[in-house]
Amino acid sequence: MKITCVIAAHNEEGNLAPVIAGVKQHTQGLTEVLVVDDGSTDGTAAEAEAAGARVVRQTPNRGKGAALLRGLRELDGSPDYVLFIDGDGQDDPADIPALVEAARGGGEFVNGSRWLGTLKRGSISFPNRLGNRFMTELLNVRHGARITDSQAGFRLIHTRLLDPDRFRSREYEVETEMVLHAVRSGARIAEVPVTRHPRGEGDTDFKRVRNGLRILATILVGRPVFR
């Protein structure tokens, strides 16, 4: 199974190197780590390159969704699966073998679920916790899915479900859009419990109201609404 790891990164200096090292250590069949640096103003790109990743840079900053879609357009060598992991150190690369195992067992959309796993103290705020539960339940009810974590950024997805022309997200609604596409495609969805840590250096770009509304609209309408 050939796996390429795609990481969207915006100002993740100090966080990225250990993530990339962890991905290399734990991913059997890894072809490369591709970092999409989205208008960072710190040493994100240099750190990623020094850690052995291929870096694609785009400026100005456009958002996590735009960055991940750019990454899908830059895939090299026809991998079977793409591994998505956050670049801020919140996801634990030690969980990757469990994701790979689930893919080997037939999972085409393997979701790293923080709700089945462990949310470490300080890894999520109370409002975001509530928002996450609500969005996931709403998505399940509205779209006939049965997942426990619709906002997971830690996933292993078969490339048949990742044609970049099928997506239009710019920001954090990208995770939701990918779930919707998998559900509509009749994909075999599997979930694996993962551990979520507090962020390393720096701050999140997630804006609760703005990004919450974008995600909500994506679920209600069934596709991203705002460009």
Ligand X SMILES: Nc1nc2c(ncn2[C@@H]2O[C@H](COP(=O)(O)OP(=O)(O)OP(=O)(O)O)[C@@H](O)[C@H]2O)c(=O)[nH]1
- Give the nearest distance from C-beta 172 to Mg ion in angstroms: 10
- Give the nearest distance from C-beta 183 to ligand X in angstroms: 21
* Candidate residues 133, 184, 206, 225; the one interacting with ligand X per rule CB under 6 A: 206
Question: Per CB under 6 A, which region of 22-30, 136-144, 177-185, 197-205 contacts ligand X?
Answer: 197-205
- 92 scored as a contact of ligand X (CB under 6 A): no
Question: Per CB under 6 A, which region of 2-10, 106-114, 141-149, 154-162 contacts ligand X?
Answer: 2-10
SS (H, E, C) 24-89: HHHCCCEEEEEEEEECCCCCHHHHHHHCCCEEEEECCCCCHHHHHHHHHHCCCCCCCEEEECCCCC
Q: 73, exposed or middle or buried, with CB in 10 Å at 0-12, 13-18, 19+?
A: exposed
Neighbours of 33 (CB within 10 A): 24
CA distances (Å), 94 to each of 61, 100, 123, 184, in order? 30, 11, 17, 30
- Give the nearest distance from C-beta 10 to Mg ion in angstroms: 11
Structure tokens at 44: 């994100």
* Candidate residues 6, 45, 51, 67; the one interacting with ligand X per rule CB under 6 A: 67
Interface with Mg ion (CB under 5 A): 88, 90, 199, 204
Interface with ligand X (CB under 6 A): 8-10, 12, 36, 38, 61, 63-64, 67, 86-88, 90, 124, 128, 153, 199, 204-206
